């Protein structure tokens, strides 16, 4: 079976840094994606990791360790608009994406 | 905006009815995937179409069926609707299977089954 785990909810303060973890156990691996989804909207692409290491893109960074089945999304200088759900998704060898249940992040002033 | 459009945006059906949801993929994309997202959950893979052929299916019963047309637009059909089919149905398009596989999602069709 396929298993992707991420925390259900997190809270943080505006201007702070937050790290959202994701662990996975899947039959096949062809990359890991992070998507952002605001309530009532479609998911939007944030990052993609296929090799081990850190990918940085502005305020957002994503890390992958394939040997540990682990990834995290790091959000810096949090803004109120960052309040959303963050979805971790693994691309299987069949090109299918398997999503976790998402982490709902609330940013407070 | 991703260029993926879905219709209708909202609809209400009753148990036992049938529904057809439509999706126009982003220009240049030949692969369409459909996902079901229940409230508070992550998207669940239903199936994927590549060049008009089904190219993978998740754990959904046969009453969930689909089509892809020569222009790469797609339909999702659900027969004999059940209350648990109430969800947001997301269509996502992507380029050739050889690329990163990033999915571009439409805004979704929110289905309520009463």
The residues on B that touch A, with CB distances below 8 Å, are 2, 31, 33, 35, 40-45, 48, 55-56, 58, 90, 97, 100-108
B96 or A5, which is more confident?
A: A5
Q: Which residues face B19 on adjacent strands?
A: B78
Does residue A53 contact residue A7 with C-beta atoms inside 8 Å?
Answer: no
SS3 assignment, position A77: coil
Q: Closest Cα partner for B103 from B9, B10, B35, B7?
A: B35
CA atoms within 13 A on the CB side of B73: 10
To the nearest whole Å, the CA of B38 is away from the closest chain A CA by 10
CA atoms within 13 A on the CB side of B65: 6
To the nearest whole Å, the CA of B90 is away from the closest chain A CA by 8
| Per-residue pLDDT, B27 | 77
SS3 assignment, position B85: helix
Q: Which residues face A91 on adjacent strands?
A: A97
Q: From first to last of its 114 residues, what are the pLDDT tens digits of chain B?
A: 558 999 999 999 999 999 999 999 887 788 899 999 999 899 999 999 988 999 889 999 999 999 999 988 999 999 999 999 999 999 998 875 445 667 889 999 999 999
Question: Stretch A39-57: mean pLDDT, rounded?
Answer: 92
| Per-residue pLDDT, B103 | 82
| Per-residue pLDDT, B98 | 46
Question: Stretch A3-15: mean pLDDT, rounded?
Answer: 96
| Per-residue pLDDT, B26 | 80
| Per-residue pLDDT, B55 | 86
Listed by number, the residues of chain A in 10-49 with a beta carbon closer than 8 Å to a beta carbon of chain B are 30-31, 33, 41-45, 48
Question: Stretch A68-81: mean pLDDT, rounded?
Answer: 97
| Per-residue pLDDT, A95 | 66
CB-CB: which of A87, A94, A99 is closest to B56?
A94
| Per-residue pLDDT, B101 | 62
| Per-residue pLDDT, B22 | 97
Whether residue A92 has pLDDT greater than 90? no
CB-CB: which of A41, A91, A99 is closest to B43?
A99
CB-CB: which of A43, A101, A102 is closest to B105?
A43
């Amino acid at each position: 079976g396929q298993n992707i785990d991420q925390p259900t909810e997190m809270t943080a303060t505006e201007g702070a840094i937050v790290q959202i973890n994701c662990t996975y156990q899947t039959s096949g691996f062809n990359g890991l994606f992070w998507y952002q989804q605001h309530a009532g909207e479609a998911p939007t692409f944030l990052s993609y990791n296929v090799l081990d290491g850190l990918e940085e893109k502005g305020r957002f960074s994503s890390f992958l360790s394939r040997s540990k089945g682990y990834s995290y999304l790091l959000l810096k200088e949090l803004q109120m608009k960052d309040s959303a759900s963050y979805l971790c998704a693994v691309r299987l060898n069949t090109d299918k994406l398997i999503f976790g249940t998402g982490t709902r992040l609330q940013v407070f002033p | 905006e991703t260029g993926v459009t879905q219709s209708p945006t909202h609809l209400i059906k009753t148990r036992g009815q049938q529904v057809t949801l439509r999706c126009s993929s982003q220009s240049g994309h030949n692969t369409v995937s459909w996902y079901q997202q229940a409230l508070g959950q992550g998207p669940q893979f239903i199936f994927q179409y590549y060049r008009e052929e089904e190219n993978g299916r998740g754990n959904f019963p046969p009453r969930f069926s689909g089509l892809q047309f020569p222009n790469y637009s797609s339909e999702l059909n659900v027969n004999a609707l059940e209350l648990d089919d109430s969800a947001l149905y997301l269509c996502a398009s992507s380029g050739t299977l050889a690329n990163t596989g990033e999915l571009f999602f439409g805004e979704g069709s929110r289905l309520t089954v009463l």
